[in-house]
């Protein structure tokens, strides 16, 4: 299958590209830059120049592919990216209508419009699915929430959790997430909502303690009122119980696709030490 992948040079995207190629697929990767094109060609993929804000580019990429995996998202400007994401999904979806081709997108906070637009394509002849990933997609190239928590602990002089720290996070290893996308491309029925959680309920206190141990910093409880000042925009996420606040159908996803996470869990990854080298 020829697969058009947006976000193909990102942390997750580059891993998905490798997984696709290793399982016999051909990849057309969206990139803005010459350096991105070089990276894709080294991985064995074809480079397709353009951006999410260029509908013509997206139309062409989708039209020459047998399926699409949409991963590109700029987390540095979240509100604007949600708008761009919806426009990109509509642009790609318009090309895929009545083809029966697979189209995978990723759920984002407050991205209901994008999720709904993807799933609506199932009624217009597209084998569309939405994958909801854990807050932490972890491994040695993680640039997400765990490195942020590490930097906060370094700066503040201690690793914190909120109240008793019993609130739970879910997590998934990047390689397990990549395998999920490949299986979904091949097997997911139209209109599927899929859950990418390798671990369902890791107490946030355990995460804070693992970080504190690696940094040789004390681990302390802070109040909910203190959380926003301490963690910044992560304050709410550090305090909520993700496992109950964001419902999961991980068991059904595993049964539907035959997916089983096999790579190290989040605490084991933190204990490897690579989050603390910089």
Average pLDDT, stretch 228-243? Answer: 92
**Calculated CA dihedral for residues 39, 174, 179, 131, nearest 10 degrees:** -100
Cα 275 from Cα 140, distance rounded (Å): 7
pLDDT, tens digit, 9 for 90 and up, residues 91-136: 999 999 999 999 999 999 889 999 999 999 999 999 999 999 998 9
pLDDT confidence tier of residue 19, bands split at 50, 70 and 90: very high
Cα 94 from Cα 89, distance rounded (Å): 8
Cα 213 from Cα 210, distance rounded (Å): 5
Please work out, in degrees rounded to the nearest 5, the angle formed at the alpha carbon of residue 121 by the alpha carbons of 126 and 12. 80
Tokens of 263: 């790579």
**More confident call, 49 vs 109:** 49
pLDDT above 80: residue 182: yes
pLDDT confidence tier of residue 141, bands split at 50, 70 and 90: confident
φ, ψ of residue 248 to 5 degrees: the values are -125, 145
CATH 3.40.50.720-classified regions of the chain: 2-133
pLDDT above 80: residue 9: yes
Tokens 């190290």 sit at which residue?
264
DSSP letter for 2, please: E
pLDDT given for residue 277 in this prediction: 86
**Calculated CA dihedral for residues 59, 8, 103, 187, nearest 10 degrees:** 150
CB 32 within 8 A of CB 21: no
> Dihedral sign, CA of 32, 20, 143, 130?
positive
Cα 123 from Cα 190, distance rounded (Å): 8
pLDDT given for residue 76 in this prediction: 80
Cα distances (Å, whole numbers) of residue 111 to 48, 138, 155, 205, 271: 26, 22, 32, 28, 33
Cα 94 from Cα 32, distance rounded (Å): 22
Please work out, in degrees rounded to the nearest 5, the angle formed at the alpha carbon of residue 41 by the alpha carbons of 39 and 47. 90
Average pLDDT, stretch 158-173? Answer: 96
Residue closest to 6 by CA, chosen among 58, 44, 45: 58
CATH of domain 2-133: 3.40.50.720
DSSP letter for 95, please: H
pLDDT given for residue 69 in this prediction: 98
pLDDT above 90: residue 27: yes
The Cβ of residue 213 has, within 10 Å, a number of other Cβ atoms equal to 13
Cα 14 from Cα 1, distance rounded (Å): 18
Residue closest to 207 by CA, chosen among 152, 249, 250: 152
């Amino acid at each position: 299958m020829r697969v058009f992948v947006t976000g193909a040079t990102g942390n997750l995207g580059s891993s998905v590209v490798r997984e696709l190629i290793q399982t016999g697929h051909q990849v057309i990767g969206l990139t803005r830059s010459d350096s991105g094109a070089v990276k894709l060609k080294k991985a064995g993929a074809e480079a397709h120049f353009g951006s999410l804000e260029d509908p013509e580019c997206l139309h062409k990429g989708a039209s020459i592919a047998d399926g699409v995996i949409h991963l590109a998202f700029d987390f540095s400007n979240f509100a604007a990216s949600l708008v761009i994401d919806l426009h990109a999904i509509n642009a790609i979806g318009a090309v895929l209508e009545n083809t029966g081709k697979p189209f995978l997108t990723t759920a984002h906070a407050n991205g209901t419009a994008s999720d709904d637009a993807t799933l609506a394509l199932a009624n217009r002849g597209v084998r569309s699915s939405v994958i909801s990933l854990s807050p932490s997609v972890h491994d040695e190239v993680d640039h997400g929430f765990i490195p942020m928590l590490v930097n906060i602990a370094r700066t503040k002089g201690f690793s914190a959790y909120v109240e008793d720290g019993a609130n739970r996070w879910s997590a998934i290893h990047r390689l397990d997430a990549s395998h999920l996308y490949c299986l979904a491309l091949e097997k997911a029925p139209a209109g599927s909502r899929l859950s990418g959680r390798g671990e369902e309920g890791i107490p946030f206190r355990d995460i804070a303690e693992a970080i504190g141990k690696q940094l040789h910093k004390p681990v302390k409880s802070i109040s909910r009122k203190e959380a926003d000042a301490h963690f910044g925009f992560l304050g709410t996420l550090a305090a909520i119980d993700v496992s109950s606040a964001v419902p999961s159908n991980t068991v059904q996803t595993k049964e539907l696709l035959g997916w089983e996470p096999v790579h190290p869990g989040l605490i084991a990854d933190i204990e490897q030490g690579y989050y603390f080298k910089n």
